[in-house]
Amino acid sequence: MLITNGKIITWEEPNQILEDQAIYISSGRIVEIGSQDLLQERFPKAERIDAGGQYVMPGNICAHTHFYGAFARGMAIPGPAPKDFPEILEKLWWPLDKSLGFEDVKSSAEVMLLDAIKHGTTTLIDHHASPNAIDGSLDVIARAVADSGLRAVLCYEVTDRDGIDKAKAGIRENMRFIEQISGQRSAGGNIAGTFGLHASLTLSDLTLEACRGAATGDVGFHVHVAEHEADEYDSLNKSGMRVVDRLSKHGILGPKTIVAHAIHIDMKEADLLSESSTWVTHQPRSNMNNGVGVAPVEGLLRAGVKVGLGTDGLSHKMWEEWKTAYLLHKVWHRDPRRFSGDAVVQIGVKNNAALANVFFPEAPFGQITPGAFADLIFVDYHPHTPLTAGNLPWQIIFGFHESMVTSTIVAGKVLMRNRELLTLDEEQVTARARELAPQVWERYNSFVP
């Protein structure tokens, strides 16, 4: 495949914006970037994709999401509004995930994947829960991901909140899936697995030990940490330790482990995350929506913690998350110098790419450079001021919108071309979800306390 007539944003170090250059793609990778005339001459038989003067850039990566959350949109929570995050879990998420059967899991994932393709997010790290449909749930999601053509990392969240049998089933589902998918991974598949844990506050020492014991080899974990103070209080009550210390003691941290949020950790916990090379993901829209506080992202970066950017399932519009992070840290510190556009790029582009590489190590992510994965998007943006390699972060924060994404390519396969979806049928996916939603909501109402 030969992509011509685009303004290429390479996101290399240093960033470049190339004009009159073409990108030659073969076997899912970017092979060559060079003079348009020359490459057209050299690869006359390659399928030609004319970018029509749009920006061509690496697809966005979402470091933490929940495909199972699609049915929450527009759903009413009965009774008084939840007053804090523990009540949001008890009154919204826990009864909702109990309401999901396999068909709902599939439909919810399809809605989320469709949203990702339309809005230019090409790799997603998911965290799944469906306690009444555990065994095989990751296969259902994996099939939806494979049909969509996107790239994803999947896991099942182990928790004690539904009893010991379901905790054990969660452990089994993670390891069954990881073992099964690792074969496909070595054959170059677009799906990887990791080991999901809900959060310290719903995990006993016994279950943590069982998870550590089951996750053999160099399997890492994906866990929520200190999203609300309640997680820290619970850990101190249960173990006399703070959350990150407790996870460290159980061998959960490490360079393949993802900790979502890390809002209420202390300096020693930041140290433990840094020393162990554990990943942290920041989800500012979700944090604001839940009223849980602000993660000390700049401090974590300065302490050497690798912080990436996720959506927590809100929608797969990564630039909305960029904008929120950019604004939130300024108002939080009452200082417009905080969290510059470069900091946003550090977490949203560079660190997310490095995190994706943990699971797909064969080629670089997040750059248009020879050898990199051909995960690309076209953006129909027409700046009224000069757009340069240097001011791009601010052009994106103040000018780009996900609706400007017109084409999405993953591993050299076109998933959306000129806003036409080629792998998923939007009408069918949304019709199926609308058909299932009333039943999910009815079951939710029977579970909600």
- Smallest separation (angstroms) from Zn ion to the CB of 314: 10
Nearer to Zn ion, 89 or 387 (CB): 89
Instruction: Look at the block and give the residue holding tokens 């556009």.
Output: 341
Question: Does residue 303 contact residue 276 with C-beta atoms inside 8 Å?
Answer: no
Q: What is d(CA 159, CA 200) in angstroms, rounded to the nearest whole number?
A: 9
Give yes or no for residue 157 binding Zn ion (CB under 5 A): no
Nearer to Zn ion, 173 or 312 (CB): 312
* Residue of this chain nearest to Zn ion (CB atom): 312
- Smallest separation (angstroms) from Zn ion to the CB of 65: 8
Q: What is d(CA 150, CA 148) in angstroms, rounded to the nearest whole number?
A: 6
Nearer to Zn ion, 194 or 407 (CB): 194
Nearer to Zn ion, 312 or 402 (CB): 312
- Smallest separation (angstroms) from Zn ion to the CB of 246: 19
- Smallest separation (angstroms) from Zn ion to the CB of 230: 15
Q: What is d(CA 157, CA 218) in angstroms, rounded to the nearest whole number?
A: 18
Size of the site for Zn ion (CB under 5 A): 2
Q: What is d(CA 438, CA 219) in angstroms, rounded to the nearest whole number?
A: 38
- Report the candidate in 33, 38, 11, 15 with the shortest Cα–Cα distance to residue 23: 33
* Interacting residues of 302 by C-beta distance below 8 A, sequence separation 6+: none
Stretch that binds Zn ion, among 91-99, 208-216, 257-265, 269-277 (CB under 5 A): 257-265
Judging by DSSP bridges, how do beta strands 221-225 and 258-261 pair with one another? Answer: parallel
Nearer to Zn ion, 73 or 434 (CB): 73
> Cβ of 16: how many Cβ atoms within 10 Å?
15
Q: What mask, x for binding Zn ion by CB under 5 A, covers residues 298 to 317?
A: --------------x-----
Stretch that binds Zn ion, among 109-117, 246-254, 260-268, 287-295 (CB under 5 A): 260-268
- Smallest separation (angstroms) from Zn ion to the CB of 426: 26
- Smallest separation (angstroms) from Zn ion to the CB of 66: 6
Question: Does residue 419 contact residue 381 with C-beta atoms inside 8 Å?
Answer: no
List residues binding Zn ion (CB under 5 A).
260, 312
